[in-house]
Structures are given as C-alpha cells and as structure tokens.
Amino acid sequence: KHIKQAWIKTIKAKRLSNVPRTSEYATLEEMLVIAARPAQGAFARRARAGLVFLFLSGARIGAFVTLPLQAVDIPNRTVYQYPSLGVRTKNNKHAQTTLLDIPQLLKVVQDWDDEVRSVLPPNGLWFAPFSHQTGLIDPSVTQAGEHRINLARRNFKEWLEQEGLTYHSPHKYRHGHIHYKNLQ
C-alpha cells in the first residue's frame, strides 16, 4: 500500500547479454617486455618502474602517484595504502597490498626504489617529481600536486610510444594484476 504505482512503473528488468564482455588488460608477457626494455634517463626509469609497479600492486593510479617512500616496502613486497601517510585512495580506504612475486618485475621496481631512496626523504614520493630547471629528481617536493594523475598518464604514454609498445590506461594494469592473480 505504501509503494506508489508511478514508482513501480519505473522498474525495468536488466537485459542479459549472451555475448561475453572482452576486457582489456596488461598481460604478463607485455610486462616482461616492458621490464626488459633498457631505460635511459630518470624519466624512462620512472615510467618503466611505474608501469611495472601498477601491475605488481594492482593499485589505482590516484593512490600510486601519492605513495610516499615510507609506504613502499619492496623487500617484503608490501605497500601501505594508508590515507594517514598521504596516500589518496578511493573513498579514503586504507589497505595493505602485497606485490606479486614475479622476480623480473620486482627487480625493475627495486632498482627504481633504490634510486629514489638515495635522493629523497622518507616522505618523498615514490613516483618521484622532477625539477623543471634541472630535469633531475627534486627532493624538495613531498606533496602530490592536483594534476599528478594526468602527468603520470602522459609520462607512461610518451615512454611507451617512444619504445614502440602498446599503451594501456593505468587502470588496465590494475586489471592485469587481478587477471594474473585469478590465474594463479
């Protein structure tokens, strides 16, 4: 008696499709090719390591670009996606993520981690910012800017195009992580 007829008429049955959806994702084979590419210069090393990190962690791009060094523990394959550390997560959730155990990919991530830790303070960003004047890692920047997600996307696309590799949006690396885990 309390439900109005006008509201009931707005209810529609969902159409079910027999055609399975094909979803795009980064594959392990693509990641191994990316990891094997020589990366000349800090820009290339950061882009390569960032793409590999996204696949290994399954992190969203917004959380990834705001990860401080203190939130990343490569030897223990752990990432602390805690808003209290400055990580911008979806719905302000906190999570402890385990990196996939793929040695060739972990090596790329560990090499970049070693490089940025030698220059940046613990609250420095893992996706390290570069100085506009020198083109080198800028240790004075410890806060992620408003457009950092777009910067990462552009950097990834530029590097992949330079290398003649297929570009996937950052979220497709998250899909690749999930797909890989489901196969294990």
Q: Summarize pLDDT for 72-124 with one digit per residue, the tens.
A: 999 999 999 999 999 999 999 999 999 999 999 999 999 999 999 999 999 99
Evaluated on CA atoms 134, 140, 142, 146, the torsion sign reads negative
Q: What are phi and psi of 10, to 5 degrees?
A: -80, -10
Cα 94 to Cα 66: distance, rounded to the nearest angstrom: 13
Q: Tell me the mean pLDDT in the region 30-59.
A: 96
Burial class (CB in 10 A: 0-12, 13-18, 19+), 158: middle
> Among 3-12, 18-27, 131-140, which is the least confidently predicted range?
18-27
Question: Residue 117: phi, psi to the nearest 5?
Answer: -65, -25
